[in-house]
Amino acid sequence: MEIYEIVCGAVVLLACILIVILCMMQDQKQDQNMTSALGGGSNDSFYKNNEGNTRDVALQKLTRNLGIISAILLIAMNIVVPLVINVSK
């Protein structure tokens, strides 16, 4: 096993663990359904009006970026690393 595989594998493993942790930290979305209409649920809250500044938006962006990074690394591990290994032999 080459050093490239070990490094990429460790980074992908770390990114996947962080994605799971970040997904657990995010709040569940409250769907606006008939129950909230009958119960008087309202969307006029401070957090709804300032949605771009909340902690959840930052967690969503970080989760999305880590997902993209892990996908790119997985593709690199399966395409680029075998090419590098074959060239070095």
- Compute CA distances 63 → 2, 40, 67, 75, 78, whole Å: 29, 32, 6, 18, 23
Q: What is the mean pLDDT of residues 25-51?
A: 60
Lowest mean pLDDT among 9-18, 33-42, 57-66, 78-87: 33-42
Q: What is the value of pTM for the model shown?
A: 0.63
Q: What is the mean pLDDT of residues 66-86?
A: 83
The pLDDT of residue 45 is 59
Query: 30 and 36 in contact (C-beta within 8 Å)?
Result: yes
Q: Best-predicted range by mean pLDDT among 3-7, 27-31, 36-40, 52-56?
A: 3-7
| Per-residue confidence band for 65, with pLDDT thresholds at 50, 70 and 90 | very high
The pLDDT of residue 58 is 86
Other C-beta atoms lying within 10 Å of the C-beta of residue 15 = 19
